[in-house]
Structure 1
Amino acid sequence: MILTGPAIAAAVAAGDITIDPFEPCRISPNAYDWRLGKTLLVCDGHLDAAAPTSFTETAIPEVGLVLEPGLLYLGITHEKTGSERFAQMLNGDRTIGSLGIWVHVSAPLGHQGHAIRWTLEIRAAKPVRIHAGMTFGKLIFLTAHGCPDSYQQQRAKYAASDGIDISRLHEEIQGDRP
């Protein structure tokens, strides 16, 4: 089940959900409106699942930054979110989609026990200017059924994340090679 806005606010107040920084005005009927952070990794070279991704790190200037089609941008959420009790789903929203921005299409699930600033996969259909701190999507919280199993305790691949992460699939592929 998805938490309503008032249930999200109550869970934040009770310490069951972490949203930092938290602004009550960003709560909508069934979600929290998250914002884009200040940094992007621009992945403009050849991508190979068996090799680390090359990138250029850039801060989004005060005047904004124009995203160009054909490039992969990895961004980060302004907010750090997490919960030991609830799973999370992070997505873009209609407003961002209407600008031709695809955000966080392939990895929307945030596991219980994983408090993070989310790494975002961002693509643009046309050149479009973005700004740090702008609302970029919706975060929902889901009740989990069954025995809780904390992501942090599993020593999962991205458990220690504290910034923008490139794909680590190359580690798995290289580990499987003779």
Structure 2
Amino acid sequence: MILTRRAIGRAVAEGDIVIDPFDPERLSPNAYDWRLGDRIRICDGTLDAASTTSYREVSLGTDGYVLKPGRLYLGVTHERTASERFAQLINGDRTVGGLGIWVHISAPLGHVGHAIHWTLEMRVAQPVRIYPYMTFGKIVFLDTFGEQVSYQNLGSKYTSTGGIDISRLHEELS
């Protein structure tokens, strides 16, 4: 089941969900409106699953930054989210989709126990200027059924992040 606005607010107040920073005005009927962070990584050149991805990192200043088609951009959420009780789903929303921005298509699930600033995969249909801290999508919280195992206990390479993560698939292929 998807938590409602009121249930998300209550879970934050009770400590079952962490959203940092939390702004109750960003609660929508069934989600929390998350914001883009203040920097992105630009992955240039050929991407190779067996090698570390090369990138350059840029800060999004007050004038914003123009994303261009044909490149992979990795961003980060301004908010850090965590829950040992609820799973999380993150998506872009209609407002950024209307600008031709595809965000976070490949990895929307945050398992119970995720405690992260989300790394965002971004692509664009045409050049578009983005700005730090702009509303970029929604995060949904899901009640889980069955035995809960915290992602923290699985030893996964993406257990907890504080910034933009590049692919670590090469660690499995080496």
> What is the TM-score of this pair, normalised by structure 1?
0.96
> Match of 1:6, as an amino acid?
R
Gaps of 5+ in 2: none
Instruction: Please say if 1:54 is aligned against 2:54.
Output: yes
- Superimposed CA distance per residue, residues 54-104 of structure 1 (whole angstroms, 9 cap, x where no aligned partner): 000110111100000011000000000010000000000011100000000
Contact kept, 8 Å, 2:2 with 2:142, in 1: the verdict is yes
Provide the alpha-carbon RMSD of the alignment.
Answer: 0.6
> Match of 1:96, as an amino acid?
V
> Match of 1:162, as an amino acid?
G
- Superimposed CA distance per residue, residues 93-127 of structure 1 (whole angstroms, 9 cap, x where no aligned partner): 01110000000000000011111000000001000
Instruction: Please say if 1:84 is aligned against 2:84.
Output: yes
Q: Distance in 2 between matches of 1:115 and 1:171?
A: 21
Q: CA deviation at 1:154?
A: 1.1
Q: CA deviation at 1:161?
A: 2.0
Q: Distance in 1 between matches of 2:160 and 2:9?
A: 27
Q: Distance in 2 between matches of 1:68 and 1:169?
A: 25
Where does 1:117-156 land on structure 2 (aligned, <5 Å)? 117-156=117-156
> Match of 1:112, as an amino acid?
V
Q: Distance in 2 between matches of 1:101 and 1:35?
A: 14
| Aligned residue in 2 for 1:114 | 114
Taking only the aligned residue pairs, the percentage that are identical comes to 64
Contact kept, 8 Å, 2:20 with 2:81, in 1: the verdict is yes
| Aligned residue in 2 for 1:99 | 99
> What is the TM-score of this pair, normalised by structure 2?
0.99
Contact kept, 8 Å, 2:37 with 2:133, in 1: the verdict is yes
| Aligned residue in 2 for 1:12 | 12
Instruction: Please say if 1:70 is aligned against 2:70.
Output: yes
Q: Distance in 1 between matches of 2:165 and 2:138?
A: 20
Q: CA deviation at 1:128?
A: 0.2
Q: CA deviation at 1:14?
A: 0.6
> Match of 1:21, as an amino acid?
P
Q: Distance in 2 between matches of 1:148 and 1:15?
A: 17
Greater strand content? 2
Over 4 Å off, 4+ runs: none
Q: Distance in 1 between matches of 2:161 and 2:16?
A: 21
> Match of 1:119, as an amino acid?
T
Q: Distance in 1 between matches of 2:87 and 2:47?
A: 30
Q: Distance in 1 between matches of 2:147 and 2:156?
A: 18
Q: CA deviation at 1:139?
A: 0.2
